[in-house]
């Protein structure tokens, strides 16, 4: 049984070995500092870690590390990063914490006297920086560049400039690149454009001069004060997304196995961000349209990410057509592992939730990690529909011995 078959069995509800995903998409990644430690632990070639997501400073898990860890997935990324520069051409860069990495050559950084590091959208120093890495931090935070809202001149079209049709050249490049991937592994498509209302994208860190509603607080308030404005944005975005999906499928067919649709968070640590009615009326119609097209025209499985306490939304996620839910943050309120598995585990796959990345993985002992992983696997593996990953990305400076204990525990469970 190859890796693709292992994941496929899990998603179909067959209790075979638990598959493992790290680095398959932007919410199952590993910070570049930990990737470097893992390469050293496994005795792999010492080389600068390539950055896949400079926003979160996630490192690429190269084929040799993927094999050493027993990872069953492989990512297929879009051709640009969140700051709007190409991923194909890289250069060496020393991070503020002193790690040499390979990062997009077109990115422009500015280290400030206070120790912070600024990054410029599309590498253009002629405009304001769009994100900042504070001193002693390990990733970037978006900067709000929105002028005071002028209600009389506010136009929803201003919030849609980032949604564009793929060019013929992009389609040809995608077709060429996917043929180079290992088709024995589960291929995860990360194309972008389908994330309805994803708050991490609202500030437009890739845009030189973002217009419209770009402040996070103002955006959340708009769901109550400007619902029609958001509906117009989501409707336009969905039309562009569907056209791009059609063009992608005509070129790559079923060479990808699942597709990352949306990372919009609907939960906090202690409860939901919005009401279930808000999800039903504002987001679900667009999720349903995208998922319906994919299920009617492709064999792709659709992936929904949402952190936090989201039990109130899971039934709607299922009705909206999502096949996969991530990360299953079972430490949040109302997200008990046993009850979630019993209530939803036969209708939607749990992808993640294998170990707590807020406390146990970074601050526990290797034994703590091992015990938590084995307990979670014993709950989520019943009836299949479980792919192992942690609760969101593995953060900077997580002890490598704990990451190894996590991986070893999954392999021990599968033995």
Total structural domains within the chain: 1
Report yes or no on 200 lying in a domain. Answer: yes
Report yes or no on 315 lying in a domain. Answer: yes
Report yes or no on 358 lying in a domain. Answer: yes
Check which CATH number belongs to the domain holding 208 and give it.
3.20.20.210
DSSP-derived pairing of the beta strands 301-305 and 258-262 = parallel
Note whether 362 and 399 are within 8 A (CB). Answer: yes
pTM, to two decimals? 0.97
pLDDT, tens digit (0-9, with 9 covering 90-100), for 265-305: 999 999 999 999 999 999 999 999 999 999 999 999 999 99
User: In the sheet that 109-111 helps form, which strands lie side by side, from edge to edge?
Assistant: 109-111, 117-119, 131-133, 141-142
pLDDT over 90 (residue 102):
yes
pLDDT over 90 (residue 403):
yes
Report yes or no on 43 lying in a domain. Answer: no
Chain center to CA of 327: 10
The C-alpha atoms of residue 316 and residue 330 are separated, in whole angstroms, by: 19
Q: Which domain holds residue 306?
A: 3-29+62-77+156-414
Report yes or no on 355 lying in a domain. Answer: yes
What pLDDT was estimated at residue 81?
A: 96
pLDDT over 90 (residue 147):
no
Note whether 350 and 21 are within 8 A (CB). Answer: no
The C-alpha atoms of residue 406 and residue 371 are separated, in whole angstroms, by: 9
Q: Any bridge partners for residue 89, and if so which?
A: none
Q: Any bridge partners for residue 101, and if so which?
A: 49, 93
Report yes or no on 99 lying in a domain. Answer: no
pLDDT above 90: percentage of residues in the chain: 98
What pLDDT was estimated at residue 34?
A: 98
pLDDT over 90 (residue 1):
no
Q: What is the mean pLDDT of residues 44-64?
A: 97
pLDDT, tens digit (0-9, with 9 covering 90-100), for 206-249: 999 999 999 999 999 999 999 999 999 999 999 999 999 999 99
Element (H, E) at 142: strand 141-142
Note whether 106 and 57 are within 8 A (CB). Answer: no
Report yes or no on 105 lying in a domain. Answer: no
Report yes or no on 106 lying in a domain. Answer: no
């Amino acid at each position: 049984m190859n890796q693709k078959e292992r994941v496929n069995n899990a998603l179909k509800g067959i209790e075979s070995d638990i598959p493992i995903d790290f680095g398959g998409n932007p919410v199952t990644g590993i910070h570049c500092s930990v990737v470097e430690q893992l390469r050293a632990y496994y005795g792999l070639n010492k080389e600068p870690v390539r950055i896949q997501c400079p926003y979160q400073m996630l490192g690429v898990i190269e084929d040799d590390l993927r094999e050493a860890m027993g990872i069953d997935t492989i990512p297929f990324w879009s051709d640009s990063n969140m700051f709007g520069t190409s991923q194909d051409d890289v250069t060496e860069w020393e991070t503020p914490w002193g790690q040499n990495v390979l990062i997009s050559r077109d990115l422009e950084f500015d280290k400030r006297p206070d120790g912070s590091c600024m990054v410029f959208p599309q590498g253009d120093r002629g405009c304001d920086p769009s994100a900042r890495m504070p001193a002693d931090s390990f990733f970037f935070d978006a900067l709000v560049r929105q002028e005071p809202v002028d209600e009389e001149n506010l136009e929803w079209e201003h919030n849609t400039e980032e949604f564009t049709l793929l060019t013929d050249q992009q389609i040809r490049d995608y077709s060429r690149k996917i043929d180079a991937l290992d088709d024995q592994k589960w291929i995860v498509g990360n194309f972008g454009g389908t994330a309805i209302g994803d708050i991490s994208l609202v500030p437009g860190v890739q845009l030189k001069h973002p217009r419209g509603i770009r402040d996070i607080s103002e955006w959340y308030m708009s769901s109550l004060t400007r619902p029609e404005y958001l509906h117009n944005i989501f409707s336009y975005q969905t039309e562009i997304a569907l056209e791009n999906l059609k063009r992608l499928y005509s070129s790559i067919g079923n060479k990808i196995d699942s597709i990352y649709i949306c990372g919009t968070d609907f939960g906090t640590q202690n409860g939901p961000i919005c009401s279930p009615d808000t999800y039903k009326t504002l987001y679900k119609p667009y999720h349903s349209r995208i998922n319906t097209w994919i299920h009617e025209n492709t064999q792709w499985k659709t992936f929904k990410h949402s952190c936090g306490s989201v039990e109130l939304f899971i039934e709607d996620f299922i009705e909206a057509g999502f096949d996969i839910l991530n990360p299953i943050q079972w430490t949040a309120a109302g997200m008990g592992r046993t009850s979630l598995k019993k209530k939803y585990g036969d209708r939607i796959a749990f992808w993640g939730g294998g170990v707590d990345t807020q406390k146990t993985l970074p601050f526990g002992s290797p034994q703590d990690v091992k015990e938590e992983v084995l307990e979670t696997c014993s709950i989520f593996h019943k009836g299949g529909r479980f792919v192992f990953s942690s609760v969101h990305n593995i953060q900077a400076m997580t002890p490598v011995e704990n990451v190894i204990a996590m991986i070893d525990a999954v392999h021990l469970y599968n033995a």
